[in-house]
Amino acid sequence: MERIKLGDVELPSGELMILDPGLGRFWRHDGEPRSPRAADPATVDVRFVGRDAVQAGRTFDRSFHPEFYYDVASVEKVSELFAAHCRERGLQAQLQVLDRKVPHVERARRALEYGGGLGVVEFNGIWGVVVGGLPHGPIPVVGSLLDGELAQRFRSVDLVIDERAAVARSETVTGVMVDHGQLLCAGLGPLGAFKMWESLDGLADFVFWGRDAAPLAAASQAPELDDGLFGWTDLPMARVGEHAGPIQQRIHEEKLGVNVDYRPHCNLERLNAQIRSSDERNGRLVLDSARTCGFDNRWGDGIFPVIRDLDAQGRTIRVRMDVGNEQMQARMRQMMAKASR
């Protein structure tokens, strides 16, 4: 099985966070843990308390940590459901609304504590995975490629801590939620410096492509870029609308086959620019002086298990993102079979 190095990760506190970078705007780190979308409802965080709180929370099964349930939009409904759940099972537990919402970085550390060093972090309805007790690094990130009809897809992507150590046992969580086909491996602390939709230099690009893109570009005097793209790069943020507004209006009014992309010069765009131009479809960012690694997972969207392998002394020797497991392979083969009919 061919292996390719995608980058390295540095973990100042020994804590790794894995998430879809395209969902990075929902990660608020130690700030107010609210959704960035104005249309989203206000939410509260709750805790289950009482003699049987852990058992009740575990069987209620709404979150990784059985004592906490985050980002609850309808607390009255959840309270009724939880009370009925406890009555049916004879459990003594109650729902308590917290007086403040729990910051995302604190949620991650609670997940680490409950999971013994491996946990799922819920934030704004999204899941990431956190792993603790790791060396500071740099730790190589290595993708293992499948052979045959699924060649060039990853079987797994691993943080390789000690390649020569023998695996005594493995632990799995499900998992990391992907909605943009990518994964980012970063230190939990440095992740607080990740900026999405916030230009780092005050500039942005506006590009478009598609079936009707060339005549639209000619009509609007949009420059031709590379790879079938048209549009403007390095625009001051305040001037993007001068170009984007008329283009989008024509697309809507004339029902044109054109796709558009607004790209402020944020961390996500810096990562995506590298992924688009790299043969390995990977990119590297430095956040708060620590190296991070992002890449195309080569399978698209879904919820992917993360596995940590431990040696006989309980030391984590590898962290595996199980992107190309048997379930994903079977699904892809089924799609390929349908496409060939």
CATH code, 121: 2.60.34
Q: What is the pTM of this model?
A: 0.92
- Of 63, 51, 121, 126, nearest to 92 by C-alpha is 51
CA distance 163 to 157: 14
CATH code, 235: 3.30.70
Q: Within a domain: residue 34?
A: no
Percentages of the chain per state (helix, strand, coil), in multiples of 5: 30, 35, 35
Please, what is the end-to-end C-alpha distance for the chain in angstroms?
A: 30
- pLDDT value for 318: 97
- pLDDT value for 204: 96
Query: What's the domain range around 211?
Result: 203-265
User: Cβ of 202: how many Cβ atoms within 10 Å?
Assistant: 11
**Can you list the residues of the chain whose pLDDT is less than 70?**
none
CA atoms within 13 A on the CB side of 203: 7
- pLDDT value for 75: 94
DSSP string, 64-118: SSTTEEEEES-HHHHHHHHHHHHHHHT---EEEE-SSPPPHHHHHHHHHHHTTSE
**Which residue type does 159 have?**
L
Q: Do 304 and 297 meet the contact criterion of CB atoms below 8 Å apart?
A: yes
Q: Are residues 120 and 7 in the same domain?
A: yes
Q: Are residues 122 and 259 in the same domain?
A: no
Q: Are residues 259 and 292 in the same domain?
A: no
CA distance to 64, 73, 126, 300, per residue, from 41 (Å): 22, 6, 15, 28
339 Cβ contact partners less than 8 Å away, ≥ 6 residues apart: none
- pLDDT value for 38: 84
Q: Within a domain: residue 18?
A: yes
Q: Which two tokens stand for residue 66?
A: 């059985």
Residue that is last in its domain, among 237, 265, 293 = 265
- pLDDT value for 332: 86
What residues are paired with 195 via a beta bridge? none
Q: Within a domain: residue 103?
A: no
User: What pLDDT, in 10s, does the model give residues 219-235?
Assistant: 999 999 988 899 999 99
Q: Within a domain: residue 225?
A: yes
Q: Are residues 251 and 208 in the same domain?
A: yes
Q: Within a domain: residue 327?
A: yes
> Three-class SS of residue 181?
coil
Q: Within a domain: residue 35?
A: no
Q: Do 224 and 217 meet the contact criterion of CB atoms below 8 Å apart?
A: yes
DSSP string, 287-328: ETTEEEEEEE-SS-SEEEEEEEEE-TTS-EEEEEE-TT-HHH
How many domains is the chain built from? 2
> Three-class SS of residue 186?
strand
Dihedral Cα 145, 150, 152, 157, nearest 10 deg: -40
User: What pLDDT, in 10s, does the model give residues 45-81?
Assistant: 999 999 999 999 999 999 999 999 999 999 999 999 9
- pLDDT value for 79: 96
Q: Are residues 121 and 165 in the same domain?
A: yes
Query: Strand 118-123 to strand 126-131: parallel, antiparallel, or no bridges (unpaired)?
Result: antiparallel
